[in-house]
Amino acid sequence: MESIQHPDEPKGNAIRERLDKCVGRGQRTYTPSQLAVEKAKGCYIWTVDGRKLIDFTSGVLVVNLGHAHAGFERLYKKYLAGLPRSSYNMVAPVEVEAAERLIKSMKSPKAQKILWAASGSEGIQKAMWAALHRHPDRPIMLATRGGFHGKKGLAGDVTGESSSNPNVRFISFPMYEERPPSFYQDELDALARKYPGKIALLITEPYLGAKGSFHPPKWYHQLLQAWCEKHDVAMIFDEVQSCHGRTGSMYGYQTYGVQPDLVVLGKGLGNGEPVAAAIGRADLIDSLKYGEASDTYSGNPHACAAICAVFDVFKQERVVENCRRMAKVMQRGLNALKDRFPFIKAVRGEGLVYGIEMCDDATANACVLQAYYGTGKTGVHFLGPLAGKVLRVSPPLIVTREELECAFEILETAWARVKKSS
DSSP-assigned states of every residue in 345-378: EEEEEETTEEEEEESSHHHHHHHHHHHHH-BTTE
Which pLDDT value is given to residue 420?
59
Same domain flag for 62 and 100: no
Q: How many domains, the chain?
A: 2
Q: Could you tell me if 94 and 230 lie in one domain?
A: yes
Domain holding 392, by residue range, is 10-68+318-421
Average pLDDT (172-192) is: 96
What's the CA gap between 79 and 180, in Å, rounded?
50
Q: Quick one: 248 and 351 in the same domain?
A: no
- Identify whether 307 is part of a domain: no
Q: What is the DSSP letter of 197?
A: T
Q: CATH number, domain at 200?
A: 3.40.640.10
Angle at 412 (CA atoms; ends 406, 416), nearest 5 degrees = 155
Q: Which of 241, 266, 299 is the last residue of a domain?
A: 299
The answer to whether 367 and 415 are in contact (CB under 8 A) is yes
Last residue of a domain, one of 271, 299, 327: 299
Looking at residue 240, its pLDDT comes to: 97
Residue 151 burial class via C-beta count within 10 angstroms: exposed 0-12, middle 13-18, buried 19 and up? exposed
The answer to whether residue 381 sits within a structural domain is: yes
Q: Is residue 310 one of the residues assigned to a domain? A: no
The answer to whether residue 75 is domain-embedded is no
Residue type, 38: E
Together in a domain, 36 and 120: no
Pairing of strands 353-358, 390-393: antiparallel
Strands (E), 168-267: 168-171, 199-204, 234-239, 262-265
305 is a domain residue: no
pLDDT at 178: 87
In a domain, 304, yes or no: no
User: In sequence order, what are the beta bridge partners of 170?
Assistant: 143
Determine the Cα–Cα distance for residues 259 and 226; give it in Å rounded to an integer.
10
**Per-residue model confidence (pLDDT) at position 177:** 85
Q: Average per-residue pLDDT in the chain?
A: 96
Encode pLDDT of 227-273 as tens digits: 999 999 999 999 999 999 999 999 999 999 999 999 999 999 999 99
Q: Is residue 77 in some structural domain?
A: no
**348-406 pLDDT, tens per residue?**
999 999 999 999 999 999 999 999 999 989 999 999 999 999 999 999 999 999 999 99
379 & 407 share domain: yes
Clarify whether residues 29 and 171 are in a common domain. Answer: no
Domain co-membership, 17 together with 166: no
State the CATH number of the domain containing residue 330.
Answer: 3.90.1150.10
Please check whether residue 91 lies inside any domain of the structure.
yes
Among 264, 299, 334, the domain boundary falls at 299
* pLDDT of 422 above 80: no
Whether residues 264 and 219 fall in one domain: yes
Q: Helix axis angle, 181-194 relative to 218-231, nearest 10°?
A: 20
Q: How far apart are CA 45 and CA 85, in angstroms?
A: 28
Residues 97 and 45 grouped into a single domain: no
Share of the chain above pLDDT 70, in %: 99
CA 276 to each of CA 114, 117, 119, 178, 331: distance values in angstroms, whole numbers, following the listed order: 10, 5, 5, 34, 29
Cβ contacts of 279 within 8 Å, gap of 6 or more:
102, 103, 106, 111, 113, 114, 115, 262, 263, 264, 265
**pLDDT tier at 421 (50, 70, 90 boundaries)?**
low
Report the pLDDT value the prediction gives residue 22, as an integer from 0 to 100. Answer: 96
pLDDT digits (tens, 9 = 90+) for 268-282: 999 999 999 999 999
Q: Are residues 322 and 402 in the same domain?
A: yes
Q: Which amino acid is at 6?
A: H
Averaged pLDDT, 269-297: 96
pLDDT > 60? residue 64: yes
Same domain for 195 and 256, yes or no, is yes
On the question of pLDDT at 1 being above 90, the answer is: no
Same domain, 264 and 173: yes
